[in-house]
Structure 1
Amino acid sequence: MKKQKWLMATILGGVVTLGMLGFATNKTYAQEDDFYVRKVEDLTSDFIKGVDVSTLIAQENSGIHYFDTKGNQQDIFDIFKANGVNYVRIRVWNNPKNEQNQGYGAGNVDLQVAKTIGQRATKAGMKVLIDFHYSDFWADPGRQIPPKAWQSMDLSTKSQALYQYTKDSLTELLNAGVDVGMVQVGNETTSSGLCGEAGEGRYTLFAQGSKAIREVSQDFNHPMLVALHFTNPEKTSTILNYAHELSNHQIDYDVFATSYYSFWHGTLANLTDILKTVADQYGKKTMIAETSYAYTLADGDGQPNVIDTPEELYAGNYPATVQGQANALRDVIDATAKAGSNALGVFYWEPAWISVGSHNRADNLAKWEQYGSGWASQAAIGYDPNVSMSNYGGSEWDNQALFNQQGQALPSLSVFKYVNTGYGVAPKEDERPQMPGDPLDELLKNSLLTNGQFEKDLQGYQIDAADYFNIVTSDSKSGKALHYYRQDQALSATISTSVNLTPGTYRFLASAQGSQDSQIQLVAKHKDNQQILAQGNRTSLTGWMNWQTPSIEFELTQNTTVDLNVLLNGAAGCWGTMDNWILVQTKAATPTKPNSPATPDSSESDTGETTAPITPTRDQLLEKLAQQLQTAKQISSADYQVASYLNLQAVLQQIPDTTVDATLTQLEQHLATLDAALAALTKVTKPLVDVTQVDHGQIFRLYHEKSGQHLFTFSVMERDSLLKLGWQLEGTAWQLANEGQAIVRLYNPFSGEHFYSANQAEITQLVALGWQNEGCIGGSVDKRLGKPVYRFYYRAANGSYTHFFTTNQLEANLLKKITTYEGIAFYTL
């Protein structure tokens, strides 16, 4: 499983009621009249309808019980069997614990845990797929970390260890009565290879794993299929090349498996083609080893979910509802079956990984740590580079489970049972629910751009650093996309296209995904004089296939040729794609009425005569605008609510630094927009900090050369005192938000380190360890409004280890190369 947001989640504790999240309570999920399952034609009776329940024991140890759709408590395997499940997949990690015997989390699934789950599945009449990761924790395209005990081994020694471990483990499972029907040699073994071997060495390991399985199968006279597992089927040539290379290396295996998540992995038609091609060209059986879909976008345990925004569901085109989830699962089964008789079936990933009881992260943390029911525990920090103090914790998959947050089976679980026959009255194809507000359906069809999806390659576009761009058919929202990559140094480029427009109000959007060191900014300009019509904030990209879609609006009073620009900036090694440039008219210009006796701006004199309004001169407008700009720039972020403050800042960015050459109409527009933003400012009602100590909302960054320590403060008094003690002022770190989740400053009296966190559970834990709470220094804002504060861990000048925080992207990129990056601490202004 590829977890997309491990490093991007900001961990915020908070009490949320069930009603706020929209979860049903005390509900009986009988099969209702409007629920349906479309029949899949020609589905064989032995088609695999599997589930991966690797976290089950940890969930049950955390106090979770499971119920059928009518609310009756039952053993989960009885619930699965009653709903048509016939196969259970279990991942196995070599030694998912640290030296203190503390589990890494995500089920702490070693061989003993897998044996327990396997025995229960076998007792329920199900076969078992054993998924060897050959790691002590997560193995996926992002990392294939060898087990701790194998990390110093050369390839020959490692391959022998893998062979023996596989053989011994399977022998123990079969002796324990587990009905193992299939075994995976590795998990999502794509670009990162297998067990730390990304080159030719991976094939040696594949061969040794397969050899061990064949020998145990023969020794026990117990048939077991050998499966190899890949992912990213949307990258057609790449995934088919894996099958080609396996054939070239004469690897002995039976099943070519892939993950398929519709929000990441392309179309179902392409999936069918991939499975059919592998079967036809290489004679292999095929399978979907992992799939899932969200039934809600609400979070259940205080740990941000991997899929939590409507845009992330656009690619799948299913709504985040129980019926949408059911349709998504049914359609994956259908696409797999269409690949032919060699297509074995589908496994649903972690359908029972729900909240361990509370919607408050702090309440759940102890259970996650003790039983391993979260995605990662603190113990994994140091072994897995993707785990840090800022992101370890609970399930990031609870909204994609086939059980609700109270452990009650959802109707979507019954897809496995009804998919052979169909259930209910399915709507006609053109009546099926669609994603509300899907920009592909709603905006693209009305877009004024003729090549906004790059289907005509670069026709109509200009790029000032064209050598680093090309058109691709992968990593797109649909069809083609504009790809960028530069390895040797930072990339700064402008991509632009021109369009002739009539008077009216327009909205320009563009989508992009890519490396976290990339930023895009949308700008609309008058083509003739390059005057800025609208300019958006810089938008940071957040990783592979995490699409960001910023937008800007501008108004035209006459026919105008407009340049639409996307400014791209990225550090060395940056990569990504752009797609779906959209321009729509949101409002037509209001027609004038020259024959009207009076206009809305005219007035009536005391004598009853209509008089024209007094029109300010150009100099008067310039003076008034200058006064209002001065007022706006003095506004402190500490005094006003975040949304209204950011709205003012966005307006200020749209007004050019110099307005001397602006037309009278433009000056009037600037002034009206600015006046409206100032009027909309809303005072903070319950400020987090004392505004009398704040200087224009600045959080100051200071540095002490002798100790190598940094300190952040909003207090002018503290800043001045520290300067007298030899500290150096390095400038403004970020702007203070005076509402939201409190950012707390803590002090370690033993090491002298200061630390900053908005994570209440982390704060509580550090105080318990002897850290001193020095109070709040502002608020962490919603990630959609703020900019990330990156957290690093490094060795200071005095030899002690300390943390460092920065919002500067270039500084962060440099530090990632020389320090330990711990993720995003919180979001600020």
Structure 2
Amino acid sequence: MKRNSLKRLTTGLMAGALTAAVLAVGEPAAAVRSDFIMGVDVGMLGEVEDLGGRFYDDGVEGDALGIMADHGANMVRLRLWNDPYNASGDPYGGGTNDLASTIAMAQRAKAQGMDVLLDFHLSDWWADPGTQTKPKAWQNLTYAQLKTAVHDYTESVINAMEAAGAKPDMVQMGNEISSGVLWEDGRIGGAVSDFTQLGELLSAGIDGVNDAASGIEIALHLDMGGDNSLYQWWFDGITAEGVDFDVIALSYYPFWHGTMGELKQNLNDISERYSKDVLIVETAYGWTLGDGDGLGNSFYTAEEATGGYAASVQGQVDFLRDLREIVADVPDDRGRGIIWWEPTWLPVEGANWGTEAGKEDNDDTGTLSNPWDNQTLFDWDGNALATLDVFGENAATQRVNLLTNGSFEANGTYTNTPSGWTVVSANSGYANATFTSDAWPAHGDWTANHYWASAYTVSLYQNKTGLANGTYTLSGWVLSGGGQNSVYMYAKNYGGAERQAAIPASASAWTYVSIEGIQVVNGQIQVGFWDNANAGNWLNIDDVKLYRTA
């Protein structure tokens, strides 16, 4: 970090849909794997502390790692640069994450009981899709020499960290490497479609890690977490080269990398397609639109509008909870967790993304600043934000789904009567406009669909009784071709006025809709989807959840 075509079903296919009733089955409570990662990337922390940054929890000063660990953070991600200094020994800044500082931070993390993810940038400074510059010491090597250097370097780093009692639990080989590593030898994309050298360079680094120590998981990391076509292209290419890895790592910022629905669809697809765990290793969101150093930020009004959450502490909390839910819901326990990028980058004077030496080395003319100070997990005075409390929440108990078959997976077949749901049509004979299908892009294997060749009105709903009175949230994911007279998700019969959430037209990107703050006072509720549609209109529904929030 430095800064499918829809498949249409025919009327004939729908007419032949199964109509036999099936027994309702309960939706299993959402479960989060015991090793679910709620981590923090703290590459700037040492520099912030050296320049005077201090951290507090409820007014009591403490170690930033200790504060975050106390709130539930269980992994630290550390970037490593080969030689982040110029010939005169001047540091490049941005944390100047050399091996010595990385080991020191890893030791601190281990002392707090946190796991360590080591991020090899394979560069002297920032590496990302637009910059994959070889380290100075490797720039004149032949390709064969380069492979040897990569192997020997990663082996020596792991040996040094293990000797210091700071062996990483997971290693990233490269940072946001959708365009490859170690340009030009390991470049991919554009006119370069041959993955051979990229695969060999990555394998050389991975072999070095494995030759040094056992039990370290290997992750490969791309940006653009919502771009499924990118991930299919890249991982098809890299797996064909036989690169041995364990985890697909993603960057996902909702204001840069696609919608939450696109992320969800991508996570579910790639975890199944490649039989790999998936881990969000970079994410963040703004807690304010203010600017701590007055020099501009990466997150402002346009990012807030695209991201879809308020630029507030509560907005940050809501984003993190929603993101955690998406990752925890990845089928077959393949969702490993989330890592927040630079939660401790306070706007202390001099704690910038680089120094003059770094700018000169990278030919960067940008203003030296902190562009991240409104996406941290501490305010500008170092006080812990309420967002940190989310790290310690047990997602399995926070969002137990009270609906039956909200994922529409229970039947495992094409049906007009999905288990647990009631279907009512205002038009005689049009109840078949509701069906489950695996022919549409779903969040799992199956999705609920509304479609008919003639105009239709249909409701898909559940009645839940025996509820504890309190505050509830109803949510779901939808695709819609648009054009309906009226289409919405609703909640009613809970002791208050019916509430509705309009469903927007979105034909290719899953959209999250929710109704929050439903005050159940009579122990029951009806929740569902109402669709008054014209001929040929369609709606897809998936992962519907009702859960108590207070």
- Taking structure 1 as the reference length, the TM-score comes to 0.44
Residue 320 of structure 2 corresponds to which residue in structure 1? Answer: 329
Shift of 1:342: 1.8
Q: Match for 2:159 among 171, 196, 199?
A: 171
Q: Is the 8 A contact 1:352 1:401 kept in 2?
A: yes
Whole-angstrom CA distance in 1 between matches of 2:129 and 2:255: 17
Query: Shift in Å at residue 155 of structure 1?
Result: 1.9
Q: Distance in 1 between matches of 2:359 and 2:88?
A: 13
Say which one has the larger Rg: 1
How far the C-alpha of 1:44 sits from its partner, in A, is: 2.0
Structure 2 CA distance for aligned equivalents of residues 478 and 102 of structure 1: 48
Matching residue within 83, 88, 110 for 2:71: 83
**Separation in structure 2 between the aligned mates of residue 328 and residue 279 of structure 1, nearest angstrom:** 22
Offset at 1:428? Answer: 4.8
The answer on whether the counterparts of 1:186 and 1:194 sit within 8 Å (CA) in structure 2 is: no
Contact preservation (8 Å) 1:375, 1:392: no
Matching residue of 1:401: 376
Deviations 1:23-46 (A, max 9, x none): xxxxxxxxxxxxxxxxx9311221
The alignment status of 1:121 with 2:109, answered yes or no, reads: yes
Q: What is the aligned partner in structure 1 of residue 305 from structure 2? A: 314
Within a 5 Å distance, the mapping from 1:401-420 to structure 2 comes to: 401-420=376-395
Residue 478 (structure 1) shift: 9.1
1:150-161 aligned within 5 A: 150-161=138-149
**1:380 counterpart residue number:** 358
Choose the corresponding residue for 2:201, options 175, 199, 205. 205
- Structure 2 contact 288–374 (Cα < 8 Å) conserved: yes
Distance in 2 (alpha carbons) for counterparts of 1:260 and 1:170: 28
- SS of the equivalent of 2:61 reads coil
Structure-to-structure mapping, 1:532-681, within 5 angstroms: none
State how many pairs are aligned: 382
Q: Give the Å deviation of 1:279.
A: 2.1
Which of these residues, 273, 278, 296, is aligned with residue 281 of structure 1?
273
Q: From the superposition, tell whether residues 194 and 478 of structure 1 become closer, same or farther in structure 2 (CA, over 3 Å).
A: farther
Cα separation, 2, equivalents of 1:248 and 1:427: 50
The offset of 1:64, in angstroms, is 0.8
Summarize the Cα distance change of 1:131–1:455 in structure 2 as closer, same or farther, 3 Å threshold: closer
What does residue range 351-500 of structure 1 map to in structure 2 within 5 Å? Answer: 351-356=343-348, 364=349, 368=350, 373-385=351-363, 387-388=364-365, 391-420=366-395, 421-422=397-398, 428-429=472-473
1:183-194 residue pairs with structure 2 within 5 A? 183-194=171-182
Matched, 1:343 2:335: yes
CA, structure 1 residues 149+379, in 2 after alignment: closer, same or farther (shift >3 Å)?
same
The Cα of 1:194 is off from its aligned counterpart by: 4.4
Deviation at 1:381, TM superposition (A): 2.4
Match in the other structure for 1:459? none
Query: Once superposed, which parts of structure 1, at least 4 consecutive aligned residues long, lie more than 3 Å away?
Result: 192-196, 425-432, 453-456
Which residue of the partner structure matches residue 257 of structure 2? 265
**Is 1:376–1:392's contact at 8 Å kept on the other side of the alignment?**
no
Q: Give the CA deviation at 1:426.
A: 9.5
Contact 1:355 1:405 in 2 (8 A): yes
Give the letter for the 1:378 counterpart: E
SS in 1 for 2:56: coil
Q: Distance in 2 between matches of 1:291 and 1:422?
A: 21
The answer for unaligned runs of 5 or more in structure 2 is 4-28, 189-194, 400-468, 477-486, 488-503, 513-550
Note closer, same or farther for the CA distance 1:267–1:194 as it changes in structure 2 (3 Å cut). Answer: farther
- The residue identity in structure 1 corresponding to 2:161 is L
Letter of the 2:398 partner, please give it. Answer: G
In the alignment, is the contact (CA less than 8 A) between 2:259 and 2:511 conserved in 1? no
Q: Is the CA contact 1:2–1:142 (under 8 Å) kept in the aligned structure 2?
A: no
The 8 Å contact of residues 172 and 220 in structure 2, kept in 1 or not, is answered as: yes
Q: Which residue of 1 aligns with 2:55?
A: 66
Counterpart CA distance in 1 for 2:267 and 2:209 is: 24
Counterpart residue number, 2:519? none
Distance 2:182 2:220 in 1: 11
Structure 2 CA distance, aligned partners of 1:63 and 1:413?
22
**Equivalent residues in 2 for 1:693-712, closer than 5 Å:** none
Residue equivalent to 2:33:
44
Matched, 1:96 2:81: no
Shift of 1:162: 0.9
Shift of 1:253: 0.6
Tell me by how many angstroms 1:84 deviates: 0.4
User: For each residue in 1:170-189, what CA deviation from the matched residue of structure 2 results, as whole angstroms up to 9, or x when unmatched?
Assistant: 10001100141000000000
Unaligned runs of 5+ in 1: 4-39, 357-363, 433-444, 446-452, 457-472, 480-829
Corresponding residue of 2:192: none
Does structure 2 retain, via aligned residues, the 8 Å contact 1:295–1:325?
A: yes
Q: 1:241 aligns to what SS in structure 2?
A: helix
The residue type equivalent to 1:313 in the other structure is E
CA contact (8 A) 2:119 2:172 kept: yes
Shift of 1:302: 2.5
Question: 1:64/1:298 Cα in 2 relative to 1: closer, same or farther (>3 Å)?
Answer: same
**CA distance, structure 1, for counterparts of residue 98 and residue 321 of structure 2:** 32
Q: CA deviation at 1:308?
A: 1.9
* AA aligned opposite 1:328: F
Q: Is contact 2:92–2:357 with CA below 8 Å preserved after alignment?
A: yes
Find the aligned partners of 2:247 and 2:70 in 1 and give their Cα distance: 27
2:159–2:213 Cα contact (<8 Å) kept: no
Change (3 A) 1:194 1:284: farther
Match 1:244 to one of 232, 236, 243: 236
Output the amino acid matched with 1:314. A
Letter in structure 1 aligned against 2:338: V
- Alpha-carbon distance between aligned partners in 1 of 2:308 and 2:47, rounded to the nearest angstrom: 33
Matched residue, 1:55:
44
Match of 2:545 in 1: none
Q: Which amino acid aligns with 2:35?
A: D
- Displacement of 1:132 after TM fit? 0.4
1:215 to 203, 211, 215: 211
AA aligned to 1:422 is Q
Aligned partner of 2:427 in structure 1 is none
Cross-structure match for 1:145? 133
Matches of 2:147 and 2:324, distance apart in 1? 35
Alpha-carbon separation, structure 1, partners of 2:355 and 2:470:
43
Structure 2 residue aligned with 1:131: 119
Deviation at 1:273, TM superposition (A): 2.3
Q: Deviations over 1:83-105 (max 9, x none)?
A: 00110000000011111211111
Say if 1:50 and 1:89, in contact at 8 Å, map to a contact too.
yes
Question: Structure 1 residues 194, 233: closer, same or farther in 2, change over 3 A?
Answer: farther
Where 1:381 maps in the other structure, the secondary structure is: helix
1:229 and 2:216 aligned: no
1:124–1:131 distance in 2 versus 1, CA, 3 Å: same
Q: Structure 2: which amino acid aligns with 1:255?
A: V
Residues of 1 paired with 2:237 and 2:66: CA distance?
42
State the 1:419 CA deviation. 4.2
Distance 2:372 2:146 in 1: 33
Residues 190 and 230 in structure 1, CA contact (< 8 A), matched pair in contact too: yes
Whole-Å separation in 1 of the counterparts to 2:269 and 2:95 = 36
Question: Is 2:260–2:511's contact at 8 Å kept on the other side of the alignment?
Answer: no
- Once the 2 structures are TM-superposed, how far is the Cα of residue 455 of structure 1 from its aligned partner? 8.1
Instruction: Note if 1:298 corresponds to 2:290.
Output: yes
